[in-house]
Amino acid sequence: MKAIVQDRYGSADVLELREVDRPVPAQGEVLVRVRASSVNAADWHIMRGDPYFARLFLGLKGPRSRIRGMDFAGVIEAVGPGVGGLLQVGDEVFGEVEGSFAEYVCVPADLVLHKPANLTFEQTATLPLAGNTAWSGLRDLRAGQKVLINGASGGVGLLAVQIAKARKAFVTAVCSTRNVEQVRSAGADVVVDYRTDDFVRGGERHDVVFDLVGNRRMGELRSVLTPDGVLVLSGGGSFTGGVLLGPYRLIIQGRLLGSFARQRLVVLEAKPSRENLAALRDLAESGQLVPVVERVYPLAEAPDAIRHVESEHARAKVVVTA
């Protein structure tokens, strides 16, 4: 089968379309013929081995997982031993797993779910990783609460705005000038253009701040929370912590301060979950969650897709089709 493979860290130039062995489903796994996968910030962070701190668990000289891609939508091609009757050959499914920039991928059956009936494969492929992150960060929102989403125009951010509105929260979304209308159309009640306004200086207080950027200081983010508010940290693509720590700087601070601060500090760990996929599917099928696909690339052009996302020129999600 064809797959996008890398042997060393570097720019998108290290990615190659190669023929590799087609995987065989093991106990409790299904083999999925990938129809679409989406590009996530994690793809280019792993590709570059950035920040350097991350290489401690990614691999010191090169990524242990050599095929890029983190989520998928596709069709079950084969079922391994021990998989129950809920999943069968021919089922259209989606999920989150490493190595999805390929024609086929093996996935644990308990991390796969039938895709939303009203979405295309391309739309569905945008949901697993980005949607899981957004849902995990906002699932505890209550009706009437005020939430600020910093980084609202990215793949996670646009889904987060819609999820927050589905939870009946009041949403303030922070993005750049060119994305204001898109974020507003996603349902945000207030849109702050960070190029002209600083949400830290606005004087508003929020029950929840969901930070998807990692470019503000901890004290600044806490200053816009209510006294008993919740700050949710989810990394981000900014490298204000330097090439050594990058966005992990803020996450490390969050872990250290979490036990002492009156405000609740949550370092988000959005692990793949069938339950979360089901929540996303329900929202999609009810029309409350509509994925936005900016551009679609064929598998052979996956390096260009990653370049586009890495350059921060992407608006919403970028999809790769196999």
> 2-127+291-321 with 131-267: one CATH topology?
no
Residue with tokens 């089922």: 91
Peptide bond into 303 cis (omega under 30): no
pLDDT at residue 55 in the model: 80
How many CB atoms lie under 10 A from the CB of residue 26?
A: 12
pLDDT at residue 259 in the model: 55
Lowest mean pLDDT among 58-67, 196-205, 232-241: 232-241
Residue with tokens 């609740």: 264
Per-residue pLDDT tens over the stretch 129-177: 999 999 999 999 999 999 999 999 989 999 999 999 999 999 999 999 9
Contact by Cβ (8 Å): 91, 76:
yes
Which residues, in sequence order, are CB contacts of 309 under 8 Å at separation 6+? 39, 40, 41, 43, 44, 318
How many CB atoms lie under 10 A from the CB of residue 260?
A: 7
Residue ranges per domain, the chain? 2-127+291-321, 131-267
Question: Phi and psi (nearest 5°) for 182?
Answer: -65, -45
Tell me the torsion sign for CA atoms 102, 103, 109, 113.
Answer: positive
Structural tokens at position 241 = 């912590």
In 3D, which of 260, 298, 274, 253 has the Cα closest to residue 122?
298
In 3D, which of 137, 138, 128, 175 has the Cα closest to residue 273?
128
Please tell me the distance from the alpha carbon of residue 238 to that of residue 248, in angstroms, as a whole number.
10
Tell me the torsion sign for CA atoms 228, 229, 234, 239.
Answer: negative
Please tell me the distance from the alpha carbon of residue 315 to that of residue 322, in angstroms, as a whole number.
22
In 3D, which of 87, 136, 99, 126 has the Cα closest to residue 290?
126
Query: Is pLDDT of 280 > 90?
Result: yes
Per-residue pLDDT band at 260 (split at 50, 70, 90): low
Contact by Cβ (8 Å): 34, 322:
yes
Per-residue pLDDT tens over the stretch 84-134: 888 999 999 999 999 999 999 999 999 999 999 999 999 999 999 999 999
pLDDT at residue 238 in the model: 43
Q: What is the pLDDT averaged over residues 32-43?
A: 95
- For 2-127+291-321, CATH gives 3.90.180.10
CATH 3.30.565.10 fits 131-267, yes or no: no
Instruction: State how far Cα 35 lies from the chain centre.
Output: 19
Structural tokens at position 312 = 């921060």
How many CB atoms lie under 10 A from the CB of residue 90?
A: 7
Per-residue pLDDT band at 241 (split at 50, 70, 90): very low
Please tell me the distance from the alpha carbon of residue 72 to that of residue 121, in angstroms, as a whole number.
9
Alpha-helix residue ranges (DSSP H) falling in the chain? 41-48, 55-58, 121-124, 128-138, 155-166, 180-185, 218-223, 242-245, 248-257, 274-285, 302-310
